[in-house]
C-alpha cells in the first residue's frame, strides 16, 4: 500500500508509516505541479498534502483506491470536501498543535508593524542611522490599545492572551458569542472601535473578501490590520489603497494571490510587513503537525476513527480563492 507525501516534512513521523509496512513516496521538490501530482497520486491509498496542493475531484479520481487525505494543515479549503464525501474519502487536519506558533507570529507581525521594526532595521542597515532623534521612526504604543479579533477559535483566543500581557484591551467578533471574558461586538462596531484588527477566521464563501473596500475604510484611521489566517479574507487591491493613507499599517502572513508576485505594490509600501505563510513554522510545531497527520492517516487505514476528522462541508470548493485556507465554520 502506497502513501504519497507531497513535500518533505521535518522530524521522523514518516518512519512510523514505513514501520507499518507502507510504501512512502515523498515529493522532494519545492513545487509539485498539478500534472506531476496527478501522476504520482495514482495507486496511493493515503495522501498527505500541504496547503499548496489543490486536492480536487480530478486528483481523487486518479487515485482510485484513495482512502484518506491527511492534511498537513489545520486549514482544509485546498481540499474539495464535497468531492471527498462523494467518494467516501476521509479528510483530516492538524488543529491544536499549531495554535501557539501562529499566535506568536501574529504578535511578531503586530510588533513589527506598530514599532516599525522592519523599516528601522532597513534604515540602520542602509547606513541612514546617523543620530538618535526624538522623532525618529515613531510608532504605536501597544499599552492601552484595543485589539479586535475577528474569529475567536483557538488561535484567536491564544492571540487574546498574549495581547493582555501587552496591556491591550481585547474585543472580538465571531459567528456567535462565546462564554469568554472579552466583549463580543458586531463586526461593523468592532471595525469602528478597534485600534488593531486581527483576522482568525477560516476562508469560506461567507468570509471571502470579508475585509472589502467598505470594511477596510470603516476601520478607524491610523489602525493596523493583521492577517495570519487566509489571504482570501482581504480584498488585496482595496488594502493597497487603504495602506496609502487610511491605515497605519498591515502585517500579513497570508496574501491573495499567494505567493504575491515579486513586483506586487504591497511590497513597495513601507507600512506593510509581509511574511511567507510561516505562521506554524516553529520546528517543534511542524514536527508535531507531521506526527498528527501520520496518526490520522494510520487511523483511517487501520480502520480506527482518526483523532482529527474534518466534517464534510456543503460549500462550493471552487469559489474559495488563493492557496491554503481554513476549515469548517468560522469560529
Ligand atoms: C494551516 O495549517 O492551515 C496553515 O496555514 C499552515 O500551517
215 CB neighbour count, 10 Å cutoff: 19
**Global pTM value:** 0.94
Cβ of 324 below 6 Å from ligand 1: yes
pLDDT at residue 313 above 80? no
Alpha-helical runs (H) found in the chain: 13-19, 34-41, 57-62, 81-86, 99-114, 117-125, 154-165, 187-193, 213-218, 236-243, 283-301
Ligand 1: which atom is nearest the Cα of residue 75?
A: 3
Tell me the CA–centroid distance for residue 75 and ligand 1, in Å. 6
pLDDT digits (tens, 9 = 90+) for 95-116: 999 999 999 999 999 999 999 9
Q: What is the share, in percent, of the chain residues with pLDDT greater than 90?
A: 92
Atom 4, ligand 1: residue with shortest CA distance: 73
Tell me the CA–centroid distance for residue 268 and ligand 1, in Å. 26
Tell me the CA–centroid distance for residue 115 and ligand 1, in Å. 26
pLDDT at residue 62 above 90? yes
Catalytic machinery residues: 230, 258, 277
Cβ of 75 below 6 Å from ligand 1: yes
Cβ of 98 below 6 Å from ligand 1: yes
What local confidence, expressed as pLDDT, does residue 258 receive? Answer: 95
pLDDT digits (tens, 9 = 90+) for 229-269: 999 999 999 999 999 999 999 999 999 999 999 999 999 99
Atom 3, ligand 1: residue with shortest CA distance: 75
pLDDT at residue 213 above 90? yes
- From 230, 324, 327, 328, give the residue whose CB has the most ligand 1 atoms within 8 Å, as the site to mutate: 324
Tell me the CA–centroid distance for residue 51 and ligand 1, in Å. 7
Amino acid at each position: 500500500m502506497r502513501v504519497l507525501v507531497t513535500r518533505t516534512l521535518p522530524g521522523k513521523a514518516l518512519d512510523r508509516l514505513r514501520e507499518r509496512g507502507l510504501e512512502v513516496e515523498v515529493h522532494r521538490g519545492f513545487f509539485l505541479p498539478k500534472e506531476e501530482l496527478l501522476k504520482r497520486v495514482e495507486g496511493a491509498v493515503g495522501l498527505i498534502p500541504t496547503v499548496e496542493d489543490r486536492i480536487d475531484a480530478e486528483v481523487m479520481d486518479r487515485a482510485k483506491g484513495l482512502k484518506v487525505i491527511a492534511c498537513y494543515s489545520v486549514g482544509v479549503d485546498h481540499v474539495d470536501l464535497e468531492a471527498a464525501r462523494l467518494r467516501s474519502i476521509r479528510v483530516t487536519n492538524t488543529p491544536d498543535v499549531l495554535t501557539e506558533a501562529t499566535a506568536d507570529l501574529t504578535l511578531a507581525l503586530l510588533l513589527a508593524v506598530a514599532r516599525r521594526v522592519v523599516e528601522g532595521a532597513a534604515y540602520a542597515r542602509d547606513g541612514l542611522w546617523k543620530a538618535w532623534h526624538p522623532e525618529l521612526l515613531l510608532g504605536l504604543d501597544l499599552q492601552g490599545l484595543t485589539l479586535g479579533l475577528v474569529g475567536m477559535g483557538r488561535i484567536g483566543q491564544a492571540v487574546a492572551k498574549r495581547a493582555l500581557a501587552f496591556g491591550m484591551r481585547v474585543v472580538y467578533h465571531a459567528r456567535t458569542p462565546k462564554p469568554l471574558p472579552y466583549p463580543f461586538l458586531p463586526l461593523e462596531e468592532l471595525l469602528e472601535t478597534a485600534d488593531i484588527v486581527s483576522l482568525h477566521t477560516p476562508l469560506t464563501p461567507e468570509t471571502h473578501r470579508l475585509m472589502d473596500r467598505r470594511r477596510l475604510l470603516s476601520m478607524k484611521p491610523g489602525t493596523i490590520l493583521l492577517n495570519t489566517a487566509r489571504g482570501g479574507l482581504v480584498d488585496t487591491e482595496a488594502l493597497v489603497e487603504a495602506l496609502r493613507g487610511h491605515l497605519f499599517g498591515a502585517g500579513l502572513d497570508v496574501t491573495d494571490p499567494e505567493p504575491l508576485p515579486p513586483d506586487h505594490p504591497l511590497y513597495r509600501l513601507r507600512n506593510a510587513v509581509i511574511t511567507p505563510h510561516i505562521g506554524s513554522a516553529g520546528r517543534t510545531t511542524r514536527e508535531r503537525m507531521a506526527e498528527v497527520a501520520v496518526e490520522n492517516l494510520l487511523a483511517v487505514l487501520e480502520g480506527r476513527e482518526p483523532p482529527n476528522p474534518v466534517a464534510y462541508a456543503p460549500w462550493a470548493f471552487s469559489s474559495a480563492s488563493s492557496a491554503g485556507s481554513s476549515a469548517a465554520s468560522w469560529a
